[in-house]
Amino acid sequence: MKKTYLLGAAALLASTSIASADGVLNIYNWGNYTSPELIEQFTADTGIEVTITDFDSNDTALARVRQGGHGFDIVVPTHSFVQTWINEGLLMPLDPEIVTDRGNIAPQWVDVAFDPGREYTVPWQWGTTGIIVNTSIYDGDINTADIILNPPAELDGRVNVIPEMSDVMAIAVYAAGGDDVCTDDMEIWRAVRDSLMAAKPHWLALDYGTLDSYVAGDIAAGVYWNGSSMRARIQNPDLAYGYPATGYPVWMDNAAVLADAENVENAMIFINYILQPEHAAMLSNFARYANGITGSDAFMDPAMGEAPEIVIPDEFIAAGRFSSACPQEIQDIRTQIWTGLLQ
C-alpha cells in the first residue's frame, strides 16, 4: 500500500531554523507507523513533499531494496538487520553537515553494537514484542508464551501470529529454554520447530494488519507489538498486553538513507528533523512506542508514561532481551524452520 501526502505549498515558517528546500522525499517504512502530523509539519517547514511506501517485514524491505530501481530515499529497518544493510553497501553514511543533532540521541542508544557511533542510522522508535489477549474471552495468565504455543481452549482457533520471523522465533527459543536467539544448540532448535508446528493448527492466521480485528473482537489473542497493542487497547479496554515470563524481544527500528537515494539532501534533512524532541514525540504519539530521543517526553501524551504496554512491570524487565544478527549458519536453520511453518 502506498500513501502519498501532498501537504501544502512549500511554506517556510519564519521562526524555524530549518533551511529552505524543495522537491520530494520517498520513505520506505513499516505500515501504519509514520505520523501524518509529522509529515504535514515537515512539509510545511521545508517544502519537501513526502511519499510513504509501506512494507510488512524486514525481509520484504531488504529483498525489495536489493533488487534496485526502487526509488526510495529512506528506509527504517530493525536493529538486528542493520548490519546486513551496512555490510551489503545499501546505506550511506549520514552527512554531519546536515545531520547535526545526533547529540539528541539518548546515551544508551548512541554507541550501539549494530551501528557504533551512529554513523549510518538514527533511532526511529523502540519497543517490545509480547502477547495481546482479549480478557473478556480469556481471563487466565497472559504473561506466558503458552498463549500462542499451547493456546487454552477459549483461544483455540482465535489466535493471530505476526509473520515476523525474528519476533516469533525469539519467543519460541526462550520458551524452549534457550537464552540466545542465535543459539547453536540443536536440541533447542528441534524444540522450537516442534512447538511451532504443533501450535499452528490452533491459530487463526499469520497476519500483520490486525489492529482493527483485535478491536472488533474478531481475533482474541496473538503475538503483537507493544505500541500497536496500546493503540488497540485505547479503542477496546478488554485488550491487555502480556510479557512472556520465559523471555520476549526488545527491538529498535532505525531510520537510514539508502546508498542509491535520489534525494539525498532531502533525506538527510528529514533524518535530522526527527532528532528534534518535539518531532520524535509526534512519531511516538502516533504509533505509541518510545523513541530514544532525549527531551521528547515533554512533548508526549502523558498516557504513555503510565501505559502497561510501554512501562514494563518490574517482574518482567529481566525477561526482555535485545538480540543481535545471527551467524549465517544459524540464520539458515531459522529460515528452514520458518519456511516450513509458512507452508
The 10s digit of each residue's pLDDT in 165-190 is: 999 999 999 999 999 999 999 999 99
Is residue 131 within 8 Å of residue 244, measured between CB atoms?
Answer: yes
Closest CA to 94 of 277, 271, 292: 271
Is residue 71 within 8 Å of residue 55, measured between CB atoms?
Answer: no
Do 2-126+251-304 and 127-250+311-342 show the same overall fold? yes
* Architecture of the structural domain at 2-126+251-304: 3-Layer(aba) Sandwich (3.40)
If phi over 0 gives left and psi between -120 and 50 gives alpha, with beta otherwise, what is residue 168? alpha
Domain boundaries, the chain: 2-126+251-304, 127-250+311-342
pLDDT in tens, 66-122: 999 999 999 999 999 999 999 999 999 999 999 999 999 999 999 999 999 999 999
Residue the block writes with cell 512533548: 299
How far apart are the C-alpha atoms of 152 and 141, rounded to whole Å?
10
SS3 341: helix
Position 132 pLDDT exceeds 70: yes
Query: Mean pLDDT over residues 196-208, rounded?
Result: 96
| Cell numbers linked to 43 | 512539509
How far apart are the C-alpha atoms of 287 and 210, rounded to whole Å?
14
pLDDT in tens, 238-266: 999 999 999 999 999 999 999 999 999 99
Question: Who contacts 60 (Cβ-Cβ below 8 Å, separation ≥6)?
Answer: none
pLDDT in tens, 151-166: 999 999 999 999 999 9
Strands (E), the chain: 2-5, 24-30, 49-55, 74-75, 121-134, 159-161, 203-205, 221-225, 239-242, 248-257, 320-322
Let me know if domain 127-250+311-342 sits in CATH 3.90.1170.50.
no
Is residue 340 within 8 Å of residue 197, measured between CB atoms?
Answer: yes
Total Cβ atoms within 10 A of residue 56: 16
